[in-house]
Amino acid sequence: MSVQVKRLEQTSEEQMEACCGTSSAVRTPRDDPQAIRADVSSYYGDVAEQQLDRSAASDCCGSNLYLGEDLSELPAAAVNSSRGCGNPHVIASLQPGEVVLDLGSGGGLDVLLAARQVGEAGFVYGVDMTDRMLELARRNAANVGAANVDFRKGDLEDLPLEDDTVDVIISNCVVNLTPDKGRALEESFRVLKPGGRLAISDIVVDGDLNDLPVSEEDIRAGLSWAGCIAGALSAAELTRLLEAAGFEEIAITFEHRYNSSDFLGELPPSLRRLSDAVLAELIQRFTSSSIRARKPRL
Ligand SMILES: C[S@@+](CC[C@H](N)C(=O)[O-])C[C@H]1O[C@@H](n2cnc3c(N)ncnc32)[C@H](O)[C@@H]1O
């Protein structure tokens, strides 16, 4: 089994600014899956609400994470509601005719981009657990007349798709939000066709958090789960869970590294008492990463 962990030391504040909900101040109990789901859904429901309240023709924006993509002709609400931490399209290399699943499809930006790439012969499913996000995504799809998409309500840990259904799974910063990531990866494996690939962006911890003058428990307890940080896995743990689910050809690439300016305003007291140097060391271990893996061919 091939596991590749590449390093890219270069930081990019621009890329990080748009990440998930790093401004969320909610501190979620980590040992309560239902509380995690409720907090995450409430946070992203509010994000959707803001866009649903606006007219469909409101001014568009731009996303630093999607500089390589053509966002023209996509609804402003899809772009404005996007809260990813990377660009799964760069790693997915979608082909015409492929069937794609977007885990945690939010307002539908990644689904609509994928729908263009796979064309009429392909199809894209979006799965999300938040009702208001699903409403927004369906409205966005209708506004652009996307006929090859379907948004389904569901949880990453219990996907509403049959076994061996999709060629490619994409996702932008959602696996970290699930309480049981092992289960979510098993579900991903189940719905992929043999030979199908996982190509997702997510936040991954480079190394571990054990050697700092604050416990990992305190670090994670103080950070926002909805902001995609508290639930981020280490590369080693993510690799272990991917292997346990049955994936092969696993490759994790640290694309961008966070820095203090991304989080300072949100740090809890237990972290604020750390020296600037320790804080900087802690924060730069959180990376926006590309994660690739394949379900074995029969
Ligand atoms: C970080 S946003 C990403 C949305 C979209 N991919 C984008 O880039 O705009 C997270 C989305 O995942 C959904 N989500 C979070 N945890 C989920 C879970 N366990 N199952 C299904 N959806 C989930 C949220 O409702 C939210 O819409």
Q: What is the best residue among 26, 37, 40, 109 to mutate for testing ligand 1's pocket, by most ligand atoms within 8 Å of CB?
A: 40
Average pLDDT over residues 190-198: 98
The dihedral region occupied by 78, where left means phi > 0, alpha psi between -120 and 50, and beta the remainder, is: alpha
* Three-class SS state of 193: strand
Check if 24 has its Cβ closer than 6 Å to any atom of ligand 1: no
Compute, in angstroms, the gap from residue 213 CA to the centroid of ligand 1.
33
Check if 74 has its Cβ closer than 6 Å to any atom of ligand 1: no
- State the pLDDT confidence band at 11, using cuts at 50, 70 and 90: very low
Please give the pLDDT value at position 69.
76
The DSSP bridge pattern shows strands 99-103 and 166-172 to be parallel
User: Percent of the chain, pLDDT > 70?
Assistant: 84
pLDDT above 60 (res 7): no
pLDDT above 70 (res 14): no
Average pLDDT over residues 203-216: 89
pLDDT tens digit string along 98-111?
A: 999 999 999 999 99
Question: Which fold, 3-294?
Answer: Rossmann fold (3.40.50)
Average pLDDT over residues 286-294: 95
Check if 202 has its Cβ closer than 6 Å to any atom of ligand 1: no
Between CA 213 and CA 219, with CA 214 as vertex, the angle to 5 degrees is 145
Compute, in angstroms, the gap from residue 275 CA to the centroid of ligand 1.
34
Compute, in angstroms, the gap from residue 282 CA to the centroid of ligand 1.
25
Check if 40 has its Cβ closer than 6 Å to any atom of ligand 1: yes
Task: Say if residue 170 is exposed, middle or buried (CB neighbours under 10 Å; 0-12, 13-18, 19+).
Answer: buried
Compute, in angstroms, the gap from residue 181 CA to the centroid of ligand 1.
14
pLDDT tens digit string along 85-140?
A: 888 888 899 999 999 999 999 999 999 999 999 999 999 999 999 999 999 999 99
DSSP states of the chain as a string? --EEEE------HHHHHTSTTTT------TT-HHHHHHHHHHHHHHHHHHHHTS-TTPPP---GGGTTS--TTS-HHHHHT---SS-HHHHH---TT-EEEEES-TTSHHHHHHHHHH-TT-EEEEEES-HHHHHHHHHHHHHHT--SEEEEE-BTTB-SS-TT-EEEEEEES-GGG-S-HHHHHHHHHHHEEEEEEEEEEEEEESS-STTSSS-HHHHHHHS-TTTTSTTPEEHHHHHHHHHHHT-EEEEEEEEEE--GGGTGGG--HHHHTS-HHHHHHHHTTEEEEEEEEEPPP-
In ligand 1, which atom is closest to the CA atom of 171?
Answer: 6
Nearest CA to ligand 1 atom 23: 104
In ligand 1, which atom is closest to the CA atom of 82?
Answer: 9
Check if 204 has its Cβ closer than 6 Å to any atom of ligand 1: no
Mean pLDDT of the chain, nearest integer: 85
pLDDT tens digit string along 42-80?
A: 989 998 998 888 755 555 555 677 767 778 778 888 888
In ligand 1, which atom is closest to the CA atom of 78?
Answer: 9
**Rounded distance, CA 85 to CA 245, Å?**
24
Nearest CA to ligand 1 atom 7: 82
Check if 128 has its Cβ closer than 6 Å to any atom of ligand 1: yes
pLDDT above 80 (res 265): no
Residue 254 vs residues 79, 210, 291: alpha-carbon distances, Å? 24, 20, 9
- State the pLDDT confidence band at 269, using cuts at 50, 70 and 90: confident
pLDDT tens digit string along 219-238?
A: 887 777 777 788 899 999 99
pLDDT tens digit string along 143-177?
A: 999 999 999 999 999 999 999 999 999 999 999 99
User: Percent of the chain, pLDDT > 90?
Assistant: 54
